[in-house]
Structure 1
Amino acid sequence: MNEIRPQPTAANNPQPESFRPPFPVFTESTDRLMHAVQGRFTMALSPASLGLAYLDWLVHLMNSPGKMGELAQNAAAKALPLMRYAAASAAGQTDPDPFVPLAQDSRFASAEWQKYPYNVLSQAFLYTEQWWHYATTNIRGVSRHRQQVVEFAARQLLDVFSPANFPLTNPDVLKVTLEQGGQNLARGWQNYCDDLLRQATGRDYAPDPRYTPGQGVACTPGKVVYRNKLIELIQYAPTTETVHPEPILIVPAWIMKYYILDLSPANSMVRWLVGQGHTVFMISWKNPTAEDRDLGMSDYRRLGIMAALDAINAIVPETKVHATGYCLGGTLLSIAASEMSRDGDDRLASVTLLAAQTDFEDAGEIMLFIDESQVAYLEDVMWDQGFLDTKQMAGAFQLLRSNDLVWSRMVRHYFLGEADHGNDLMAWNADATRMPYRMHSEYLRRLFLDNSLAKGRFNVDGRPIALTDIRAPICAVGTTKDHVAPWKSVYKIGILTDTDVTFILCSGGHNAGIVSEPGHKGRSFQISTQADADKYVDPDTWVLVTPVQQGSWWSAWSAWLAERSGARVAPPPLGTKDYPPLTEAPGSYVLMG
């Protein structure tokens, strides 16, 4: 009888020594270096992530004969009204457009696009766009994330071939060319050559001198009262005889410079708050270099928020603080507030989160660029550099709004010959910062991939924190057109905490909706407060039952802060003996390139 022997396994048949990788560190470094080199040509996007998404979609589509039959039927059914429309247009008739672009798509909005044959070209493009949307969505078995990636990639490829992107098929370009005798194309060629030269030499655009920090923007008077290797803390000079006793600490996002909240004097949130009788402190983050590669999220919390609170408590002693965080700064503030509550630190009078997420399950279109493959690839790019470069971040955000930031600019800049007319918000947007390797890796993995904060698995100093520990009242602000922090995601703070939450939904996008000063035309907002004991109201119901108010949400927020503040007192000094003024605002970190 033949002896039955167990099959070898990893436990009872260890891998021979000769087959083990002799240099694991070397081989890993080789792989990471290759990914880092690739990333320079792919805008730090992982080819594997895109390839896997495409294969997931393609294999499931090929195995779905019913879906393919529907696609063929859909193509034929929608082709008939397109052909009737084309025939009617050629005959001089004006039939209604069979296909309507999305609300945010303004490529074919001008009257010139209603003339034959350009109306047919635009309708044919919209027909193709809608068909591909149908082809890349609602396929059984495809993972939600990969379906979104494929749909997004198909849309990006289609946008390349939009008739609006070519001079001979864009009636607006042809009209201007005839009116200007081709001078627009000559200017556009010069613009193109200038851009090409900048790319070849690596030279950035010259900053707009009208919006230099300390002059046109970030010019609210104040002093830098504290500095460490990561932040400068600015205390702004009072402009009223009395102030609310509780100061405001603003924690901006470190992905950009802080002065989004201190733009021109007319739309500076800081200047406006000071004028309302608030003592305002602002964190100005250092722009990290390769030497800062090992700074992590704990460093940003400890050297940022906690160090700033210690300085404020010394300057304004025995007084609680209204803490306010914007975007990533708001997420970090929620972490710090949870840790403080866990450890019995009750220095916060309130917490305000401006377009800041605490639950990343539905974190908007930015999630298209975040999965295990993409994060690992991005980590390798940052591992080589020590940081995530500003151009790599800008590339991802440009893809999210390619019609506005890529193709529309190309048409205006190269075909219409228009110069880029900047404003304070555009100047700030171009003044990007880098992000350290360790911090950004931790941020992507712990928050976006694992969603640890919302699930109570986020560790601070070796122990988990929970948003439910926060007892200070919360004001959360979302914006209706936010593609970075969708308002329904921001709204989730109401079910993640056990405190009173006031939610404000204001018109506008991630930046422009927050920078919404009183007097800004066309602004509106909705506001309501849910006490901890109140029953849950879902966001779709909330937006229907909450009255819309015209004007800026700033006034409502200032009133909310005032209700949670004491009687007004004399302004505190700018700095103290232990925290003496170091230099005039805006300080030196904001000027670092």
Structure 2
Amino acid sequence: MRDKSAADPVPVPAAFMNAQNAMLGLRGRDLFATVRSLTLQGLRRPVYSAKHALALGGQLGRVLLGDTLHKHNPDDPRFADPAWRLNPFYRRSLQAYLAWQQQLNSWIDESDLPADDRTRARFVATLLSDALAPSNSLLNPLAIKELLNSGGSSVFKGLGHLYDDLLHNHGLPSQVSKQAFEVGRNLAATPGAVVFRNELLELIQYKPMSEKQYARPLLIVPPQINKYYIFDLSAEKSFVQYALKNGLQVFIISWRNPDARHREWGLSSYVQAIEEALDVTRAISGSKEAHLMGACAGGLSIAALQGHLQAKRQLRKVSSATYLVSLLDSQIDSPAMLFADEKTLEAAKRRSYQKGVLDGRDMAKVFAWMRPNDLIWNYWVNNYLLGKQPPAFDILYWNNDNTRLPAALHGDLLDFFKHNPLTHPGGLEVCGTPIDLHKVTVDSFSIAGINDHITPWDAVYRSTLLLGGDSRFVLSNSGHIQSILNPPGNPKANYFESGKLSSDPRAWYYDAKQASGSWWPQWLDWIQQRSGEQRETLLALGSQNHPPMEAAPGTYVHVR
């Protein structure tokens, strides 16, 4: 057990939004309603507002005289340039910004608004203060230096990038140079073949990379809101290749990108499709059972599948289940969820049913506003103020390779977050069968990210407690995606684990021990123990009943 003091609190993701917001969206009218309530608060209490205005004026006066009243976060990359500390003009502009930010938050905290309204107000104030940061202006010292170094060309390049994004990226700064990557060439390039296809998915089997392989195969189920190749980026990051090189037979699902014709595909449709893929995986491998691995919404899907199989007394098909940053307990406390009410939920469902799908670009916007300094204003500065191309980064390329959700599945996920059905037996019905996760006695291995703002780690921990069988929980020191992409050799990687799962995430964290390195080797040892005997590797893909169709990555991954 580590020595934890009061200064070592239980970590929480430093963000306002999460997976619920991506499903629900965030309407401008809700934000404007909060701004209106703040304005009315100021008008109703003029003396209170004047007190804070005078306090701000006094601080600005001292800033003009050269006083340094506020310390900025030294880890904030927006103000890393020495000019923000050493140059009198930039030091004063930063101090004025920090003073305004501090006084605005103080004005909200000391108001007589109800607690929920104050939380909404702090959320809007954070978005506003991030947008108005002096680093986002043309006077950014980095922009001035680039202007001089480029002879003024950075301005024209920046305007060109802005014009291009307005036309082709829905007004958001591009996060990645898309010309640097091609799926099937330098992404999703591990050799394999499509061995099964139905309306919803293609099943890819990969060529072995070891002299011997374990009898029980692994079926990976990616989230329906993303393309599968997050598991197969570059060779050094490829989870697929890591598993193959260590003797596992690997199959993966590549989801079809739905359109309006597929609006009726709901959670039951996807569970049925996964069950088909599981049966094909078992048939090709010759194993009576297979391992399941699900990421994010894919984890919810494999849990629902196991509950369905348990109700049919067919759970023996599953040897083990791995859950990567997956929510089964959907109770998440988030300031942004205070904007959600019954009307908002019904409006979100109605919009997707009218269109037939929830567009992945709409979800991407919400995800970007989860971390605006990292995912919006950082690229605003780089692309427009500095006139530079966005970086060539494979994870961001994948993240921007948007997919859609069929309306029925979108509605099912909204109901999942609203009712939290898996926390009580029979609360969720899939394929006509009620689900009781406590009766799912399959051994499980769950991964959460300590900095995950999409599926917060404490909710993932509570999800683990819903499962029957022998459950193991590991907390990675990363965010949502980096928790999955955690190959051995990363010197910054570490994780927390405790042999005992208590009912309280805080108590578990207090008792957990920190270990250096990636969780991948721990998972590999765990799943190899459950994978049966090793045998000579069979190089042929598919089988007589399921012959290879075409080479990986298949066709569905290319549908936009």
Which TM bucket (shorter chain)?
0.7 to 0.9
Match in the other structure for 2:27: 46
Are the structure 2 counterparts of residues 81 and 150 from structure 1 closer, same or farther at C-alpha, using a change threshold of 3 Å? closer
Change (3 A) 1:386 1:102: farther
Identity of aligned residues (%): 32
5+ residue gaps, structure 2: 1-23
Q: 1:444 to 1:369 in 2, by over 3 A?
A: farther
Query: Among residues 94, 99, 115, which one is paired with 1:122 in the alignment?
Result: 94
The Cα shift of 1:586 comes to 0.8
Aligned partner (choices 538, 561, 565) of residue 531 of structure 2: 565
Q: CA deviation at 1:500?
A: 2.2
Tell me the distance in 1 between the aligned counterparts of 2:372 and 2:555. Answer: 34
The change in CA–CA distance for 1:220 and 1:273 in structure 2 (over 3 A counts) is same
Residues 1:583 and 2:553 are matched in the alignment: no
Counterpart of 2:294 in structure 1: which amino acid?
G
Alignment of 1:335-354 (within 5 A): 335-345=304-314, 346-354=316-324
Describe the superposition over 1:34-81 as per-residue Cα deviations: whole angstroms up to 9, x where unpaired. Answer: xxxxxxxxx964355445556777788989x7x985x77677667766
Give the counterpart of 1:257 among 227, 243, 265. 227
- SS of the residue aligned with 1:569? strand
SS in 2 for 1:324: strand
SS of 1:513's equivalent in the other structure is helix
Once the 2 structures are TM-superposed, how far is the Cα of residue 554 of structure 1 from its aligned partner? Answer: 0.9
Contact 1:177 1:183 in 2 (8 A): yes
- In the comparison of the two structures, how many residue pairs are matched? 532
Inter-CA distance 135–502: structure 2 relative to 1 (3 Å threshold):
farther
Are residues 1:331 and 2:300 paired?
yes
Match of 1:4?
Answer: none
Which residue is 1:476 aligned to?
A: 446
Contact 2:199 2:256 in 1 (8 A): yes
Output the CA distance in 1 between the equivalents of 2:382 and 2:457.
Answer: 31
The aligned residue for residue 497 of structure 1 is 467
Moved more, 370-379 or 294-303: 370-379
Instruction: Give the match for residue 130 of structure 2.
Output: 159
1:528-553 per-position Cα deviation (integer Å, ceiling 9, x unaligned): 343xxx6x163233334322222211
Q: 1:208 to 1:61 in 2, by over 3 A?
A: closer
Structure 2: distance between partners of 1:405 and 1:206: 11
Corresponding residue for 1:35? Answer: none
Tell me the CA shift for residue 337 of structure 1: 1.7
- Compute the RMSD of aligned alpha carbons: 3.1
Query: How has the CA–CA distance of structure 1 residues 82 and 244 changed in structure 2, closer, same or farther, with 3 Å as cutoff?
Result: farther
Which one scores higher on RCO, CA 8 angstroms, separation ≥ 6? 2
Letter paired with 2:511 = V
1:15 is aligned to: none
**What does residue 549 of structure 1 align with?**
515
User: 1: CA distance between counterparts of 2:176 and 2:320?
Assistant: 41
Deviations 1:447-491 (A, max 9, x none): 111111223411124443122112111111011221111111111
Is the Cα contact below 8 Å between 2:176 and 2:397 reproduced in 1?
A: no
Asked if residue 268 in structure 1 is aligned to residue 245 in structure 2, the reply is no
SS of the residue 1:356 aligns to? coil
Counterparts of 2:53 and 2:424, CA distance in 1: 44
Q: Secondary structure at the match of 1:441?
A: helix
Q: Secondary structure at the match of 2:482?
A: coil
Shift of 1:190: 2.3
1:418 corresponds to 2:388: yes
Q: Which moved more, 1:221-230 or 1:108-117?
A: 108-117
The equivalent of 1:26 in structure 2 is none
Mapped to 2, the partners of 1:175 and 1:82 lie a distance apart of 27
The aligned counterpart of 1:458 is 428
User: Could you list the per-position Cα deviations for residues 369-395 of structure 1 after superposition, in whole angstroms to 9, with x for gaps in the alignment?
Assistant: 754333222223222221111221111
In the other structure, the counterpart of 1:110 is: 81
Residue 87 of structure 1 aligns with which residue?
A: 65
Q: 1:56 to 1:461 in 2, by over 3 A?
A: farther
8 Å CA contact 1:225, 1:580 repeated in 2: yes
- Partner in structure 2 of residue 22 of structure 1: none
How do 1:84-483 and structure 2 match up within 5 A?
84=62, 86-89=64-67, 98-101=70-73, 105-114=76-85, 115-136=87-108, 142=114, 144=116, 147-168=118-139, 170-198=140-168, 208-303=178-273, 305-345=274-314, 346-362=316-332, 367=337, 370-445=340-415, 447-456=416-425, 457-483=427-453
Q: CA deviation at 1:523?
A: 1.4
Which ranges of structure 1 fall in alignment gaps of 5 or more residues? 1-42, 90-94
The answer to whether the 8 A contact 1:100-1:126 is kept is yes
For the residue of structure 2 that corresponds to 1:335, the secondary structure is helix
Residue by residue, what CA displacement relative to the aligned partner does 1:547-570 show, whole Å, maximum 9, x if unpaired?
222221111111111222322123
1:499-533 Cα offsets, whole Å, 9 max, x none, are 32211111221112311111223111123343xxx
Determine the C-alpha separation between the residues in 2 that align with 1:492 and 1:440: 23
Q: 1:131 & 1:587 partners in 2: Cα distance?
A: 56
Matched position secondary structure for 2:293: strand
Farther-moved stretch of structure 1 (316-325 vs 253-262): 316-325
Inter-partner Cα distance in structure 1 for 2:66 and 2:376: 34
Q: Distance in 1 between matches of 2:446 and 2:109?
A: 33
Identify which of 493, 497, 521 aligns with 1:527.
497
